[in-house]
Amino acid sequence: MLKTLMKQIKEFKAASIATPFFMLLEVLMETVVPFLMASIIDDGVNVPGGDIRHICIVGAWMIAAAAVGLFAGLMGGKYGAYASAGFAKNLRQAMYYNIQTFSFANIDKYSTAGLVTRMTTDVTNVQNSYMMILRMGMRAPASMICAMVAAFLINGRIASIYLIAVVLLGCVLFFIIRKANKYFNIVFEKYDDLNASVQENVSAIRVVKAYVREEYETNKFANASAKVYNMFVKAESIIACNMPVMMFTVYTCILLISWVGAHMIVSDSITTGNLMSLLAYCMNILMSLMMLSMVFVMISMSMASGRRIAEVINETATIHNDDDPVMEVKDGSVVFDHVYFKYKENAEGYVLKDINIDIKSGETIGIIGGTGSAKTSLVNLISRLYDVTDGSVRVGGIDVRKYDMEALRNKVAVVLQKNTLFSGTIYENLRWGNKEATDEMCRRACKLACADEFIERMPDGYNTYIEQGGSNVSGGQKQRLCIARALLKEPKILILDDSTSAVDTATDARIRKAFATEIPDTTKIIIAQRISSVEHADRIIVMNEGQINGIGTHEELLEGNDIYREVYESQTSGGGDFDEPAVKEVKDNE
């Protein structure tokens, strides 16, 4: 994991190395300044009559040291900020770029909210601790080592007290942090659960209010919140030991050294000045250790974040381009040859079982079947959104796995069931299909998809701004825009996955008619719930539990297919939709 993350430092390596270097310089200045301070007192102030000249000279040195220290501090701060901000940027970029290579199977694994958190909160955590490591990670050990070395130079026996104290304290701190960490892991999980339940309440507030469950929810929340409180108190009480333990060690050292030191001075092993310095170093060493323990706490807290980031960066796409890809799709024919498919390698049963279909270029195919009958799974294989588990799917006579993915998907346009429009004008959204499309082409596509009628009645027409997720157009309008967007690709195969469900029957019929007359050479594969959407297709496939239950024309199936007949009858005998009208009124507030 660390390796994965470190790789992303890239161009910020220089800054990352410079930062500790400057911090080191700052530490050196910090070590020099007390010497000079002592000199001001010992040789300037504490001499009979005082020595103003000495004070001035040493003062000048001290100001010079302060200036160097300031410079080093500024540079350290600057490069630390620069390196960590850059590192964070690279991490986000690495994740985002890798996500762009994800196949549908990869995408299924992560939730949107999860990915957003990883790219924001988690990266911020890592960024902060990276800065901490760069600035303090060097500074603390450096000042500890400086002080330790100085202490050993003065007197090995006393200095060894420090060594023992440092080791002991290090062990205790390690133990405390590890124990607390265990609780923190649990507590953060509980905390996430708590926040999830808030989220749930916010989005379901109408249900809560409709059932007058405000009190009930509040009690439920109070319980969960009390649990989080208890866990946090448990975890943090352990951390609360840090400071006293620290103080205990420092104080013990000071008193021990005072006692031992006094004896040594009496027996003439060290001087009084030495003892004062030793006591000063004692503080330095233990303060650095405290700082280090803080760094470790930060690191261990950002470990989880780092793991989550690395997970995304290391996720390898399950679908790759062929080494020598075919760049052109010859025609719109589709062949399913003994196709078996399941979403997960270790899943028990197959989602699709032994599918054999031969679709000719330019044919119109309807697909019908109940929920879970694998209609969507079937068509997703054509544009290679997933790879078959066994058998093969051929487009234009060539296995889809042989194509360059972009070339394939540009010729096989899918209008997804759960579709998305992006924030931007209608033109911008349409041009997802073809960047170079002229306004004229966009309008033609919209006309084909029967989207022109409502677009033209919008105040800004094709320049109307679509809100995120297309929240300011109705379901039917959204579906028609998505169809128009796909048409702009001028695909050889057009797949509509339940893409007109919110469009009324009359408009649905007009769209189908436009398809038949305007793009006759394009292979059209239409998944629908409504019989009326598919009854005019050249052939209709009836799917049931991952298998083809029947193929044929409307009449043939009515005759010989039980499922089809059942669906047909249920839809014609008053069970149908009283649909939304063809024309969505421009909303009164727009």
Partner 1 sequence: MSNMREKKAQAAPGRSGGKKGPAEPGKLLKRLMGMIMKYYGVAVVIVAICIIINVLANVQGTMFMQRLIDDYITPLLKSETKDYMPLLKAIGRVAGFYGIGIVASYTYNRIMVNVTQGMLKHFRDAMFTKMERLPIKYFDTHAHGDIMSMYTNDTDTLRQMISQSMPQLFNSAITIVSTTVCMVMLNVPLTVLTFVMVGVMLGLTRKIGGLSAKHFIAQQKDIGSLNGYIEEMMQGQRVVKVFCHEEESKKAFDELNEQLCESSYKANNYSNILGPINAQIGNISYVLCAIVGGVLAIGNVGGFSLGGLASFLTFNKNFNMPINQISMQINAIVMALAGAERIFNLLDEDPEVDEGYVELVNARKENGEIVPSEKRTGLWAWAHKHTNGDPTTYVELKGDVVFDDVDFGYNDDKIVLHNVSLYAEPGQKIAFVGSTGAGKTTITNLINRFYDIQDGKIRYDGINVNKIKKADLRRSLGIVLQDTHLFSMSVRENIRYGRLDATDEDVVAAAKLANADGFIRRLPQGYDTVLTGDGANLSQGQRQLLAIARAAIADPPALILDEATSSIDTRTERLVQDGMDKLMAGRTTFVIAHRLSTVKNSDCIMVLEQGRIIERGTHEELLEKKGRYYQLYTGNAVLA
Distance (Å, rounded) from C-alpha 362 to C-alpha 352? 25
Q: Which is nearer to partner 1, 538 or 566 (CB)?
A: 566
529 binds partner 1 (CB under 8 A): yes
Distance (Å, rounded) from C-alpha 175 to C-alpha 169? 10
Q: Which of 103, 321, 425, 464 binds partner 1 (CB under 8 A)?
A: 103
Both tokens of 190, joined, read 């509980």
309: closest CA among 141, 584, 87, 490? 87
Q: Which is nearer to partner 1, 242 or 302 (CB)?
A: 242
**Residues 48 to 67: which contact partner 1 by CB under 8 A?**
49-52, 55-56, 59, 62-63, 65-67
335: closest CA among 398, 410, 404, 414? 398
Q: Which is nearer to partner 1, 472 or 549 (CB)?
A: 472
Distance (Å, rounded) from C-alpha 440 to C-alpha 438? 5
92: closest CA among 319, 308, 318, 320? 308
Distance (Å, rounded) from C-alpha 407 to C-alpha 491? 11
Tell the smallest beta-carbon distance from residue 95 to partner 1 (Å).
9
The interface region with partner 1, picked from 176-184, 342-350, 355-363, 465-473 by CB under 8 A, is 465-473
507: closest CA among 454, 440, 428, 562? 454
* Count of residues in the chain: 590
Q: Which of 11, 214, 439, 460 binds partner 1 (CB under 8 A)?
A: 214
Q: Which is nearer to partner 1, 103 or 392 (CB)?
A: 103
Distance (Å, rounded) from C-alpha 408 to C-alpha 493? 10
Q: Which is nearer to partner 1, 440 or 588 (CB)?
A: 588
φ, ψ dihedrals at 143, nearest 5°: -70, -30
Query: Do residues 134 and 84 touch, judged by C-beta distance below 8 A?
Result: yes
Tell the smallest beta-carbon distance from residue 248 to partner 1 (Å).
5
Q: Which of 20, 27, 69, 169 binds partner 1 (CB under 8 A)?
A: 69
Binding mask 383-422 for partner 1 (x = CB under 8 A): x-x-------------------xx--xx--xx-x-xxx-x
**Residues 496 to 525: which contact partner 1 by CB under 8 A?**
498, 501-502, 504-506
Alpha helices, DSSP H only, in 362-489?
Answer: 375-380, 405-411, 426-430, 439-448, 452-456, 475-487
Q: What count of other Cβ atoms lies within 10 Å of the Cβ of residue 181?
A: 18
534 binds partner 1 (CB under 8 A): no
Tell the smallest beta-carbon distance from residue 583 to partner 1 (Å).
6
17 binds partner 1 (CB under 8 A): no
Q: Which is nearer to partner 1, 116 or 520 (CB)?
A: 116
What's at 384, amino acid-wise? R
φ, ψ dihedrals at 578, nearest 5°: -95, 95
Q: Which of 208, 303, 519, 558 binds partner 1 (CB under 8 A)?
A: 208
546 binds partner 1 (CB under 8 A): no
427 binds partner 1 (CB under 8 A): no
Both tokens of 179, joined, read 């124990």
455 binds partner 1 (CB under 8 A): no
Q: Count CA within 13 A, CB hemisphere, residue 141.
A: 10
Q: Which of 139, 308, 443, 485 binds partner 1 (CB under 8 A)?
A: 485
Q: Which is nearer to partner 1, 77 or 552 (CB)?
A: 77
Distance (Å, rounded) from C-alpha 159 to C-alpha 155? 6
Alpha-carbon distances, residue 566 vs 460, 538, 561 (angstroms): 46, 20, 9
Both tokens of 490, joined, read 């001028």
Tell the smallest beta-carbon distance from residue 338 to partner 1 (Å).
26
The interface region with partner 1, picked from 138-146, 192-200, 340-348, 388-396 by CB under 8 A, is 192-200
Both tokens of 44, joined, read 């300037």
Binding mask 338-377 for partner 1 (x = CB under 8 A): -------------------------------xxxxx----
**Residues 71 to 100: which contact partner 1 by CB under 8 A?**
72-74, 76-78, 80-82, 84-86, 88-89, 92-93, 96-97, 99-100
**Residues 293 to 332: which contact partner 1 by CB under 8 A?**
none
Tell the smallest beta-carbon distance from residue 293 to partner 1 (Å).
14
Binding-residue total with partner 1 (CB under 8 A): 172
105 binds partner 1 (CB under 8 A): no
Query: Do residues 368 and 540 touch, judged by C-beta distance below 8 A?
Result: yes
**Residues 130 to 149: which contact partner 1 by CB under 8 A?**
131, 135
